[in-house]
């Protein structure tokens, strides 16, 4: 079975999407629609902006979403997913790609998500850290025993977990994790504690927007970050999407379940190759490639 996977924040790069804009009338039309929907020329920032410009939360998340979704649209009949998944933000890209959401509604939700998360970050200083070389259970136990708020936020691949929480709690946990044998416990240059209880204000804000958005049953199952299982019911998709901001991204478990359910090849749709790298660490036996358009 063909699985398609969609990247999250951090995959952006200057010039992203320009090749699609130049090669496809469909892509050009969708990018122009996006400028109108967002109320600013995101294409200018994507195509010509500096890395610093692209780092703005209100830009980063819509930019990655647009690159992924527009690429899936221009692939035409060759885009035939039998299952999809998206890493954090990528879950919204996946839901447009499999027909659960319209392009316009998906973009509006991504924009609202970005702004709500930014607001939550500004309300309380917080951060995230990458932990390499420890079992999940060890990381979870140390987080639970550390004073303050710190939780496992991203299960990216075996031996790579990202933790999220208050700055002091993250720093304390990192020291304890190194003492417990972590190869690295490195604070990341991010603006907040994504996928932790500190995102509760953003979750509440986004919940209202999601509830007021029309979702339909998709063309193929999505393996959502919260449940890691195949979901095709629109009501359940909405519920899981609301939970996602404060719950961990169970990426390793989702990929393993997709393979168990019959996935034999994975295609990453969007900027970068981060998810292919994680996939190789989860299971080297399955094929992985990037979606490409307009190549000879």
Q: Alpha-carbon distance 249 to 227, whole Å?
A: 9
C-beta separation of 53 from 59 below 8 A? yes
Within 10 angstroms of residue 191's Cβ, the number of other Cβ atoms is: 17
**Close Cβ partners of 219 (under 8 Å, ≥ 6 residues apart):** 81, 98, 99
Among residues 68, 93, 195, 196, the one annotated as catalytic is 195
Q: Structure tokens of 35?
A: 């400028």
Catalytic annotation present for 41: no
**Close Cβ partners of 271 (under 8 Å, ≥ 6 residues apart):** 7, 11, 12, 13, 16, 64, 67, 68
Q: What is the DSSP letter of 185?
A: E
> What are the CA-CA distances from residue 197 to residues 120, 175, 200, 219, 247 (Å)?
11, 22, 6, 32, 8
Within 10 angstroms of residue 10's Cβ, the number of other Cβ atoms is: 16
C-beta separation of 161 from 134 below 8 A? yes
Which residues is 165 bridged to in the sheet? 127, 150
Catalytic annotation present for 88: yes
Among residues 88, 93, 111, 126, the one annotated as catalytic is 88
Q: What is the DSSP letter of 158?
A: T
Active-site residue set: 88, 195
């Amino acid at each position: 079975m063909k699985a398609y996977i969609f990247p999250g924040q951090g995959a952006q790069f200057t010039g992203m999407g320009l090749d699609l804009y130049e090669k496809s009338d469909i892509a050009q039309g969708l990018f122009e629609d996006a400028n109108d929907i967002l109320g600013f020329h995101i294409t200018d920032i994507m195509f010509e902006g500096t890395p610093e410009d692209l780092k703005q939360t209100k830009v980063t998340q819509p930019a990655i979403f647009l690159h992924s979704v527009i690429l899936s649209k221009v692939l035409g009949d060759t885009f035939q997913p039998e299952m999809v998944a998206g890493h954090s933000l990528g879950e919204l890209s996946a839901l447009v790609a499999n027909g659960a959401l319209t392009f316009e509604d998906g973009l509006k939700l991504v924009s609202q998500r970005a702004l709500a998360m930014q607001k939550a970050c500004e309300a309380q200083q917080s951060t995230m850290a990458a932990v390499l070389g420890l079992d999940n259970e060890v990381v979870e136990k140390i987080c639970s025993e550390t004073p303050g708020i710190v939780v496992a936020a991203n299960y990216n691949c075996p031996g790579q977990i990202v933790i999220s929480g208050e700055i002091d709690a993250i720093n304390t946990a990192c020291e304890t994790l190194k003492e417990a044998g972590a190869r690295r416990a490195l604070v990341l240059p991010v603006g907040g504690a994504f996928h932790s209880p500190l995102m509760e204000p953003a979750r509440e804000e986004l919940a209202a927007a999601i509830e007021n958005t029309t979702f339909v049953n998709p063309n193929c199952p999505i393996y959502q970050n919260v449940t890691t299982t195949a979901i095709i019911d629109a009501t359940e998709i909405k519920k899981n999407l609301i939970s996602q901001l404060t719950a961990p991204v169970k990426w390793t478990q989702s990929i393993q379940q997709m393979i168990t359910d019959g996935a034999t090849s994975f295609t990453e749709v969007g900027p970068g190759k981060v998810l292919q790298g994680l996939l190789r660490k989860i299971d080297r036996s399955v094929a992985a490639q990037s979606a490409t358009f307009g190549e000879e």
